[in-house]
Chains A and B, each alone.
Chain A
Amino acid sequence: MNDERMEEQASLHVLGALNPDEAREFKQAMQADPELQKFVARLSTATGALAGSVEAAEPPPQLRAKILAQFGEKQKIISLPQRGGIAFWLPWSWATCVTILCVLLFTQESRLRLTVGSQAQQINNLNQLVQSLSATTNDLQQTVLALQATNRLANLRIAMLNSVVADAPKTVAVSLWDNEKQNGVLVGQSLKALAADRDYELWVMDENQIPVAAGVFHMDASGAIRMDFKPSHAIKTAGKFCVTEEIKGGVASPTLKNLVLASN
């Protein structure tokens, strides 16, 4: 290949007029030859000027933005970390904080709603429990009252006092004794009237069979008596009841020979 031949190939190369095989061969030759590269570079200046010799045509203004936009996304990705100042990150930080706050508030509100609902349910349950307990309490109170009544009856002692005098067989009396209250009632009839200086005296026998004076009463012609009585000292367990005729005002110790009435 002589110089003229190489100049022709270089000229056709810069004009793009070589056949594909020739173009491939020429490129290989150029890579191995720095002088040929320089020669091609100088010819390229001529073809560059040739290209610019055509009538000028301005591309549409919007084409620039369209072409640059194709590489905009990558540019944004590259440029984003470069905006490292506080002014850039501050709005994002605020937005993040507000978002987190909203999430926390929403979560808290949801929890409060659940808690309020749960507590309202608990209050309803407690109200129902109170009503149930109130009814139970009433029942218990009734039971207690019934038990108290039963207990009170248990503390009462009823004794029949019969006549021990031969000439007054119809004389009779009933003693009702409340051991808890330590008092009682004596009801009698067909008792013999007494002289003005004489009284009947009631006695209550304690657990040791010791007579305790429980009251005196005078009897007129009616023969009937109803008397509330109370022993002179406390009686732990009332045994028997008896009535004697004594001097007016009574005595400290009963006169047995004057016994009028006595319980079994």
Chain B
Amino acid sequence: MSLCVSSDLSSVPRIFYAEPAVSLPNFLERVNETTATDRDVELLGRIASQDRAAFAEFYDRHATLMFSVASKILNNASEAEDVLQETFVQVWQKARNFNPKLGKASSWVAIMVRNKAIDRIRASQRRSRLADEAGAEFSIVSEVSDTANEAILGHDKAKLIQSAIVELPVEQRRAIELAYFSGLTQDEISKKLNEPLGTIKARIRRGLLKLRDQLEGGL
């Protein structure tokens, strides 16, 4: 199964080949981001060799993001601490499994802490309640002054990201949030929002692609 078997780019959807134009400032920011990513790759390599100092630095770089995600999903500080602790144990044990070709380290640890938090919710059968709460309000705040991204990327980038997310169509944004922060499957989202499954899939696809394009273009 290959998505890019033809040398004729005109036959390939834009999302698979299109590289947005990058201005000089954006280029420099991307260089800095690449450097930061390289640092994470280096740290994870050292953690794989049981380097405690590297582990401490990695904690300092990502603990706020991970704890923020866990706190948002669980809405309980004590449980968020437990999940954070479990996730860092997993980082220590699974660091050698990290593949930088499949994404950034921050995305890797974010999905790990998200999965653990969702597992905990499922184990305690609180998902329906949280799904209801998620349906009542958006998880993503519009103000950018105190988001978790700011701790990693700085104020300006965090503001750009927040603007890109908030500017997503409401139906796309809500489907994405229900999947990511409430741990609902596509079927559950379909039922929750009383929309056809195909519609939910399409909303999620379009929303993520738009967000990716905006982030790649702006960062």
Contacts and interface: CB of A to CB of B under 8 A. Distances in A.
Interface in B99-152: 101-104, 106-108, 110-111, 114-115, 118, 139-141, 146-152
Contacts of A256: none
Contacts of A3: 3, 13, 16
B201 A12 contact: yes
A46 B212 contact: yes
Given A6-B1, A8-B202, A36-B1, A51 B84 contact: no
Contacts of A18: 185-186
B3 A46 contact: no
B165 A53 contact: yes
Contacts of A32: 1
B202 to A, nearest CB: 7
B50 interface: yes
B205 interface: yes
A58 interface: yes
Interface in A46-66: 46-60, 63-64, 66
A47 B65 CA distance: 13
Nearest to A49: B161
A15 B115 CA distance: 10
A41 B64 CA distance: 22
A17 B2 contact: no
B208 interface: yes
B55 A68 contact: yes
Contacts of B46: none
Contact of A42 (B151, B153, B205, B212): B212
Interface of A: 1, 3-4, 6-8, 11-12, 14-19, 29, 32-33, 35-60, 63-64, 66-68, 70-72, 74-75, 78
Interface of B: 1-4, 13, 15-16, 50, 52, 55-56, 59-60, 63-65, 67-69, 71-72, 77, 80-81, 84-85, 88-89, 92, 101-104, 106-108, 110-111, 114-115, 118, 139-141, 146-153, 158, 161-162, 164-165, 176, 179-181, 183-187, 189, 201-202, 204-205, 208-209, 211-212, 215-216
13 contacts: A17-B186, A32-B1, A33-B2, A41-B102, A44-B102, A54-B141, A55-B72, A55-B147, A57-B77, A60-B81, A68-B55, A70-B85, A75-B52
Given A32-B1, A44-B102, A72-B52, 13 more contacts: A11-B205, A12-B201, A15-B176, A18-B185, A35-B3, A42-B212, A45-B104, A52-B147, A55-B141, A59-B67, A63-B84, A71-B55, A78-B50
